[in-house]
Amino acid sequence: MNTQVAPQQESRTVKVNRDQLPLSCPLPGEEVWSLHPRVYLPIEATGEAVCPYCSTRYVLED
């Protein structure tokens, strides 16, 4: 049996501000044809959120 593991995608950190809320990944303006479905991420309570699809880490700046 030959089992292959997909290469781990390198995560990135993106800083966002309150003007960009509600936060979604991918962000508005990014080309979505080759990306995952748009998801909304709760960032207000903790100031950080991680996308469950692409592992992008978002940090809320004050």
pLDDT recorded at residue 6: 47
Do the beta carbons of residue 35 and residue 27 sit within 8 Å? no
Q: Is the pLDDT of residue 4 over 80?
A: no
* Cβ pair 50, 23 in contact under 8 A: no
Q: Label residue 62 by pLDDT band (50, 70, 90).
A: confident
Q: pLDDT tens digits, residue range 6-61? A: 445 567 999 999 999 999 999 988 877 678 999 999 999 999 999 999 999 999 99
Question: So what's the pLDDT on residue 29?
Answer: 84
pLDDT at residue 24, as a whole number? 95
Nearest CA-CA partner of 52 in 15, 9, 20: 9
Q: Tell me the domain boundaries of the chain.
A: 13-60
Distances (CA, A) of 13 to 1, 34, 38, 44, 47: 37, 19, 17, 17, 13
41 phi and psi angles, rounded to 5 deg = -115, 130
